[in-house]
């Protein structure tokens, strides 16, 4: 599809409608959020998954009467995982005055481009799907993060590969932009703490699957493991080509990849690939928050499969709802941001978010999963 204009997906949750000139997205019976994220292209499943989870949380609260009687609505706009498009669309969101805040953005390069704009405009930026460190700056009063940082994920990779399994030769494939370089920095730092260095590096260009040259460079170094920082399509291409070339190190990749999308892309070639995760296991309905997520997801789309990205979106949606509740019945953008700054502990019964002075990141947990032969996941 060619884009002459941004693709906009408008969702009226529980038939909630928002007048054209809503004051900061708030009317007597509705509150509207905007999502600017990848909805199509090589990272499209990530924005779509976040959107699905947020909508599940919004529909759940809307069925219970909303927040102080107001129904929540979400309008999603596709930025194609390109910073320039993100900037244009976020400026449009701010100038329209139709939204109380932004929610569920996707990616480090795109979020890095829009964060200064949102901070200058003092518009909330809730639950970005990125673990980039700059968003954890205590001075960013308009930003609330859910997930652990990429530094925590990369440390867990190296702990598993080196400390637990005694591997000596680690290589990296990363997306050649701010996202990939954050991952590279995390891996490099984790290795340096163990007096080690990478044996090889390979890069590819964002929104492409041009990984063959990087693969050949990495293969020559004969690594024990290749850690990978990217989205699902290029990572799938790298693993698939590696299997064809009989190159079979341990493959480890990051939560941002989109675990279900990667497993679907790889099919049988995915067996054994390790992925770090930052939200609870989406199939463990012994956790009340996961059981609630599964029910809410099924309510908006009976065919939707539980997965890590939409579970993160659901938790992000629940975080936004709690912030709105604490902002009170006379909510404005300013009151929402005041409430965001005062959040402390949010217990979702299976996922605990803890905030505080100088801490705008709710969750710190990281764990590893492995793709099975049937495309499902084991946690370990």
The full set of domains in the chain, from first to last, is 8-147+285-354 (3.40.50.2300), 150-277 (3.40.50.2300)
> Residue 376: CA atoms inside 13 Å, Cβ hemisphere, count?
7
Q: How much is the pLDDT for 23? A: 87
Region 236-256: mean pLDDT is 98
Q: How much is the pLDDT for 22? A: 58
Phi, psi of 106 (to 5 degrees): -130, 120
Cα–Cα–Cα angle for 315, 318, 322, rounded to 5 degrees: 140
- Does this model's pTM top 0.85? My answer is yes
**Distance of alpha carbon 5 from its chain centroid, rounded?**
25
Phi/psi region, residue 186 (left: phi>0; alpha: psi -120 to 50; beta: rest), is: alpha
Task: Locate 280 and state its tokens.
Answer: 């609870």
Q: Per residue in 209-224, pLDDT tens?
A: 999 999 999 999 999 9
CA distance 140 to 116: 9
CA distance 339 to 283: 32
Q: Per residue in 9-40, pLDDT tens?
A: 444 444 344 444 458 999 999 999 999 999 99
pLDDT over threshold 70, residue 207:
yes
CA distance 232 to 183: 15
């Amino acid at each position: 599809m060619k884009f002459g204009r941004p693709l906009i997906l408008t969702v009226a949750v529980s038939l909630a409608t928002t007048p054209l000139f809503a004051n900061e997205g708030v009317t007597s019976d509705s509150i509207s959020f905007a999502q600017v994220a990848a909805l199509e292209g090589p990272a499209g499943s990530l924005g779509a998954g976040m959107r699905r989870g947020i909508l599940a949380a919004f529909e759940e609260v809307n069925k219970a009467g909303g927040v102080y009687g107001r129904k929540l609505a979400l309008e999603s706009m596709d930025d194609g995982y390109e910073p320039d498009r993100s900037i244009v669309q976020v400026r449009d969101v701010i100038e329209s005055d139709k939204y109380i805040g932004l929610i569920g953005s996707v990616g480090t390069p795109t979020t890095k481009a829009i964060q200064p704009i949102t901070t200058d405009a003092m518009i909330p930026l809730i639950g970005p799907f990125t673990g980039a460190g700059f968003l954890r700056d205590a001075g960013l009063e308009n930003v609330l993060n859910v997930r652990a940082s990429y530094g925590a994920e990369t440390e867990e990779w190296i702990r598993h590969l080196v400390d637990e399994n005694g591997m000596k030769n680690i290589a990296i494939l990363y997306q050649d932009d701010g996202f990939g370089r954050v991952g590279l920095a995390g891996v490099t730092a984790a290795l340096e703490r163990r007096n080690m260095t990478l044996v090889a590096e390979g890069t590819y260009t964002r929104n492409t699957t041009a990984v063959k040259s990087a693969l050949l460079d990495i293969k020559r170094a004969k690594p024990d493991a290749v850690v990978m920082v990217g989205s699902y399509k290029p990572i799938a291409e790298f693993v698939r080509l590696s299997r064809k070339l009989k190159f079979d190190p341990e493959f480890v990749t990051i939560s941002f990849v989109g675990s279900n999308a990667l497993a679907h892309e790889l099919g049988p070639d995915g067996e054994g690939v390790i992925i770090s995760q930052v939200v609870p296991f989406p199939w463990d309905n012994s956790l009340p928050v996961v059981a609630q997520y599964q029910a809410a997801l099924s309510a908006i789309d009976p065919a939707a499969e539980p997965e890590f990205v939409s579970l993160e979106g659901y938790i992000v949606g629940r975080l936004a709802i709690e912030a709105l509740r604490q902002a009170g019945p006379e909510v404005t953008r300013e009151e929402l941001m005041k409430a965001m700054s005062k959040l402390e502990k949010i217990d979702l019964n299976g996922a605990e978010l803890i905030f505080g002075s100088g801490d705008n990141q709710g969750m710190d947990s990281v764990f590893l999963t492995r793709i099975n032969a049937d495309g499902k996941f084991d946690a370990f």
